[in-house]
Amino acid sequence: MRPTVLIVDDHEENLLALEMLLEQERDIEICRALSGKEALRQLLGQEFALVLLDVQMPEMDGFEVAELMRANPSTRLIPIIFITAISKEERYRFQGYEAGAVDYLYKPLDSFILQSKVQVFIQLWRQRRDLELAYQKLEEANQCIINQKNMLQKMAIQDHLTGLYQRRWFDHLIKSELGAVMRTNTPLALAILDIDHFKQINDSYGHLAGDVVLVGLAATLKNAMREYDTAFRFGGEEFAVLLRGTTKVQAIKVCQRLRMMLEQEHYVYQGQEFRITVSIGLCATDHLPDATRERMIEQADKELYRAKAAGRNQVCPES
């Protein structure tokens, strides 16, 4: 991107003279404005590296243009060199610097001084652009690292097939939840679900059909759960749900509703339609004194085996 210099003067001949003096600067673009208002319109429409601004103009003089530039966030950092034929008295200098000038040039213009000053500001613009690009690349690299870190963290705790949390996250979360139970005396229930005769699905329809069932069951779990419950894939065809603020009696009702929902679902793979049932074992802290992660898993597993032994498609305990 080539740097662009805006030259502003209310006399056409002065603009032509400035353009001729800047002809040797082959690596810059030059835009022109015949009034302060026109200059402001251009300044708001594109990026400029420098403004060469005549002080004495009708309607809106250079000081007013500079003040408006400094008041606008998109133009306030653009360097301004005032070009003037007026007296070099200090009061004019102060007024210009207060308005936002960074330098002064006096008519008649010296081509060497003009070109030298323009080159300095063009070089500063290029350095600023390089810094901005370097910062942008650094920000992009930093965001890439953050995204990769988040992805790795997600992969570490999330099951790639179902999108549910993994057993690893369950082990971490249940410890935290049991700590909350101790502090607040709020009940916590754990339900472990197992798909009945899941091996038969894999044997009859193939493992991809089994994946369809696992993904579908996970979706049903997500839709059926309350917003404060958390579902996990324990492994294989086994799932778990942590039910916060839930007593044993309440958990039984929740699990019976979930069991019936899953019983009504149907799955299709390569034109074959089939249904599943689940067995659910649960426990809750209000009926398990001094509950720990190990004790809750052990108790829920025992109830799950009872449900299977009783014929499957059941919730244990029943009451």
Q: What angle do CA 296, 302, 308 make, to 5 degrees?
A: 135
CA distances for 225 relative to 139, 221, 231, 255, 259, angstroms = 39, 6, 8, 10, 12
State the Cα torsion 287-290-296-299 to the nearest 10°.
-60
All structural domains of the chain:
4-132 (3.40.50.2300), 167-316 (3.30.70.270)
Percent of the chain with pLDDT over 90: 59
> What is residue 37's three-state secondary structure?
helix
pLDDT of residue 72: 92
Residue 290 corresponds to which tokens in the numbers above? Answer: 């001094």
State the Cα torsion 228-259-240-276 to the nearest 10°.
-140
Nearest in space to 278 (alpha carbons), one of 190, 197, 161, 170: 197
Q: Per the residue annotation, which of 140, 237, 238, 298 is the catalytic one? A: 237
pLDDT of residue 23: 80
Amino acid of residue 220 = T
CA separation for the pair 72, 70 (Å, rounded): 5
Amino acid of residue 240 = A
Q: What are phi and psi of 125, to 5 degrees?
A: -60, -45
Of 73-87, 89-103, 171-185, 284-298, where does mean pLDDT reach its minimum?
Answer: 89-103
Mean pLDDT of 246-266: 95
Task: Find the helix or strand (DSSP H, E) in which 130 lies.
Answer: helix 111-157
pLDDT of residue 244: 94
CA separation for the pair 14, 35 (Å, rounded): 12
**Residue 64 annotated to the active site:** no
**From the centroid of its chain, how far is CA 249?**
42
Note the pLDDT tens digit of each residue in 26-68: 788 999 999 999 999 999 999 999 999 998 898 898 888 988 9
pLDDT of residue 26: 75
Residues whose CB falls within 8 Å of the CB of residue 143, separated by 6 or more in sequence, listed in order: none
CA distances for 176 relative to 136, 188, 279, 290, angstroms = 40, 11, 27, 15
CA distances for 318 relative to 260, 278, 280, 304, angstroms = 14, 15, 10, 11
Of 59-63, 140-144, 191-195, where does mean pLDDT reach its minimum?
Answer: 140-144
